[in-house]
Chains A and B, each alone.
Chain A
Amino acid sequence: MISSSEPPPNEALTAQNPEQLLQTTRQLLANVQALSSRVVTIHEIALAINRSLNLEEILQVVGKQAKWLLDFDHLSIFLWHQDSYQLKTLFGSPLELNQAAIAPTGFIGLTLDSGKPQLVQEGSPISLPVYASGLIVPLENQRQIIGTINFATRQANAYTLDDSRIGYLLALQIAAAIQNAARFEELNQLYSQLEVEKSKSDQLLLNILPVEVASELKHFGKVKPVYYESASVLFTDFKDFTKLSQKMAPEVLVAELDHCFSYFDRIVEKYNLEKLKTIGDSYMCAGGIPTPNRTHAVDTVLAAIEMQLFMHLHKAQKIKQNQPYWDIRIGVHSGPLLAGVIGQKKFAYDVWGDTVNTASRMESCGIPGRVNISQATFSAIKDFFQFEYRGKVAAKNKGEIDMYLVTGIKHHLAIDPVGLLPNDEFVELYMAIHSDRAIAPPFCQWTSARNPKPLSVPA
C-alpha cells in the first residue's frame, strides 16, 4: 500500500506538486549522500586495518570503527579454520553460539553455505538469540569463506538491503586483512622453523670447524689457509689397538673409543685447544689455532697430562674388572704450520707442515702411558714442567732428534705432590706470558685463583 505522502507511481512529473517533488529529490540526494559517506568510511577502515598484520589489532579497529557504518547492539566475528571455529565479540554482550547456529539452517551455517549476507528480521527463516534484528555477512577472500561478521540489534527490522551491501563491502576488506594476517603468521612460523634449522646447521658446522673458520666459510664459501708462526700439535694413539680390537665386539670397541675420545674432547675444550680429527684410534688436536696465543705449548702439555691421567685411571678400572685395556702414547711438538679447510664436501679444519709430521713422530716414538715432547716444545714449557731427557731418538725420516718425557708440573708450581694440578704461582707465571692478561686461565678452577678476578700480573 502506498502512503498519501508519496507520489503515485505512474503520475507524470509535471502533474506532481513541485514542492513535494523537491522534497523527494532532496530526500533521495540525502540518501545517496548517507550511502556515499558510508562507502568513504569503509575505505578509511580498510586503510586502517591494512596497516596491521596482527589479527587482534585488526579486530580492534573493526570493533571501534564499524559503528560508523551501521547501528548495532552487538558486533562479532565468527572465524572458521579447518575443523575449528572461534567467535570473537567486538562490541556488546556475547552472542550465544550453539550447534543450531552453525547448522545449515542456523544464522551462521546458512551464511557460510550460501556465501550471501543474511538479513535476520521478523518473518525471516533464521533468527538470532536475544536480538530482534541481525545482519550476518560472509567473510570471503579469494573465493574462500573464512567466517562471518555479525551485526545485531534489539530494534525490530533494523537492517535494510543497503545495510547489507555496506556490510558486504566491509566484510570483503576484513576478510582480506584477516587472510593477510594469517599468511603473515604462517610466514613468521616458517621463518622461525628456518631459524631453528639454521641454528642446527650452524651448530653442526661448529662441531667440525672453529667459529672464525665457520664464519669465513659461510660468508665467502671458502677458507683461506693461514700460516701460524708457532702452534703445538698433539697426537695420541692406543698401543696394541689392532691386536685388542680383534678380541672385542665391534660395538664394544666403538663404545670404548667414544668414551675415551668424548673425554678428550672435553679436555681439549677446557684448555682452549682445537680438535682436528680422529683417525681410527688416533686423536689429533692443536693449541694456538685458529686464534694465535703464546701459551699454546703449556696448554697442550697440560691437556696431554690430563689425558694421560684419565687413561691411567681408566686402565686401573679395567684391570679391576678383568677387562682388556689400552695404554696411550701421547706426543707433542711445537712449530710453524698452515691451517685451513680444503675440499668442497665433507670438509674439515686441518693443519699441514713439518710440525705436524714431527708431532706424529713424537707420538709414534713415545712410551706407552707417557707424554713425549720435542726439543721445541720443551723450550717453550721448561719453566713450568719437569722432564726426563731421553736423549736423541731415531724417528722415521727425521733422523735422530731430542725427546723429553714430561713427568709433571714443577714441584713448586703444583698443588699436589705428583705435579698434576697447577698452583697460584703457576697461574701468575702463565699469565705473564699470556697475550690477553684479562682472561682467567682455563685451569684455574682448582687453584685459589678460581674466581676469575683480573690477575695481579705486571703490565
Chain B
Amino acid sequence: MSRFPIWEYDSLTDPKARSVYEEIRSELGFGIVPNLFKSMAIYPGFLEASWNQFRSVILEGSLPRILKEMIGVAISQANRSEYALKVHLHSLSALGISEEVLQMLVLDFANCPLPEREKAVINFGLIAATNPQSLTDAHYQQLHQLGLDDSEIFEIIATACLFAQVNQYTDAIALDIDSL
C-alpha cells in the first residue's frame, strides 16, 4: 500500500498538476498516467520537475528508447525494485517485446544475443546506477570505440541516474504497481 495518496485526474484541483497529467497521458505513449507520477501530485512542483526530467531523458535524445528501457530493466532488477521493473517491462512490452523474453534476457544478460554495442551500453548504465565509482577510463573508451560520442554517453548516465532515483523513490513510498 503506497504511503502517499494516488491522485486521480478528476480529484486534482491544482491546474499545474492537471496540465502535467494531460502531457503525460498524451506524450508517454501508454494513454495513462503511471502511479509514479500520480503519487507526486501531492507536490505539483516536484511532479512537474520530475516529468520534465523524464521527458527530456527518456522521450528525447538520440539513444533508442527501447535501449533506455532495457537499462531501466537491468537497474531495477539489480536494485530489486519491483515497481520500476514492472513498469519498464510493461513499457518494453508496449513497444512490441514480450515480457517473458525480456525477463529471460535480463536474467541471462551475459549470453543474450544483443549486439555488442547494446550490451556495452546496458552494462555501462548498470554500473553508473549501482556502482558509479567503479567506472573507469576503459569503460568510457570502450563506448567511444563502439562509435558513441560524449552526448550519447551522457544520455546513458542521465538515464541510469533517473532510473536509480525512480527505484529509490518508488521503494521508499512502497508504491503500488499500476493496474496495467
Q: Which residues of A approach B to under 8 Å, CB–CB?
A: 26-27, 29-34, 36-37, 39-41, 44-45, 61, 64-65, 67-68, 70-71, 91
Contact = CB atoms under 8 A, between A and B. Distances in A.
A44 B113 contact: no
Contacts of A70: 115
Interface stretch (B6-14, B78-86, B95-103): B95-103
A41 B96 CA distance: 11
16 contacts: A26-B104, A27-B113, A30-B101, A30-B105, A33-B101, A34-B115, A37-B70, A37-B97, A37-B114, A40-B66, A44-B64, A64-B62, A65-B62, A65-B64, A68-B67, A68-B118
Contacts of B135: none
B108 interface: yes
B117 interface: yes
B173 to A, nearest CB: 31
Contacts of B116: 71
A393 B101 CA distance: 110
A34 B114 CA distance: 6
B66 A34 contact: no
A39 B96 contact: yes
B64 A41 contact: yes
A33 B95 CA distance: 12
A33 B96 CA distance: 9
A33 B115 contact: no
Interface of B: 62-67, 70, 95-98, 100-102, 104-105, 108, 111-118, 146-147, 152
Nearest to A27: B113
A131 to B, nearest CB: 15
* Most central of A45, A68, A71, A91 by chain B CB within 10 Å: A68
B62 A30 contact: no
B147 A91 contact: yes
Contact of B66 (A26, A29, A30, A37): A37
* Most central of A32, A39, A67, A91 by chain B CB within 10 Å: A67
A36 B96 contact: yes
B108 A40 contact: no
Contacts of B152: 64
Contact of A31 (B62, B64, B98, B113): B113
A67 B115 CA distance: 10
Nearest to B118: A68
Contacts of A27: 113
Contacts of B108: 26, 30
A40 B102 CA distance: 14
Contact of B96 (A30, A40, A65): A40
Contact of B102 (A33, A45, A65, A68): A33
B117 A34 contact: no
